[in-house]
Amino acid sequence: MQANRRLTEQDAIEAELKAYSRDSKVIAGVGESANAYQGEVFAITREADQIEREIAQIENRLADVSHYNRETGESVLRITGDTRHDVEMELRAQKKRLELRLPVEAKSRLAKAMEQTKADIRAAKELREDLAEIDRQVAPLMPANSASLL
């Protein structure tokens, strides 16, 4: 029984670390070694994360209670009337942006990033081939013990 509890605790710790790691990467972004596609994936993920945070903030504002009615005991919301309607419209717009617009934009952005990544890979391959050719042409001109000079 002790071993099962320990395994469960370890699983919970690992899950929390993975979630924290993902959040850190989303916020910080990818490193310099990332290609254009990887960078765009993280940029899109970061945008979605930001929209989700904004949605949560708006929902919290809408649920905020200013006080309770003394006679009925019912809660009285802080945001009411036209202001509430405006905030609800903002909430709908953010949800629509997350559910509809961002995925459509993401598809074209990822396609463009993929093309850029392919071009970068081709350019790197051509550069390696050019450097190899230079090495082949320079090798006969180098003295026999040139390895010790490097």
Residue 25 has what pLDDT?
Answer: 58
Stronger pLDDT, 136 or 1, i.e. the higher one:
136
Query: Within a 10 A sphere around the Cβ of 94, how many other Cβ atoms?
Result: 20
Residue 60 has what pLDDT?
Answer: 95
Contact yes or no for 106/44 (Cβ under 8 A)? yes
Give the confidence band of 78 by pLDDT, cuts at 50, 70, 90.
Answer: very high
Contact yes or no for 94/55 (Cβ under 8 A)? yes
pTM of the full structure: 0.65
Per-domain residue ranges of the chain: 1-30, 35-140
- Decide: helix, strand or coil at residue 27: helix
Weakest-pLDDT range from 45-49, 75-79, 134-138, 145-149: 145-149
pLDDT higher than 70, residue 57: yes
Phi-psi label, residue 64: left if phi above 0, alpha if psi -120 to 50, beta otherwise = beta
Q: What is the pLDDT of residues 117-147, one digit of tens each?
A: 999 999 999 999 999 999 999 888 887 665 5
Q: Could you give the dihedral angle defined by the CA atoms of residues 103, 94, 17 and 39, in that order, rounded to the nearest 10 degrees?
A: 40
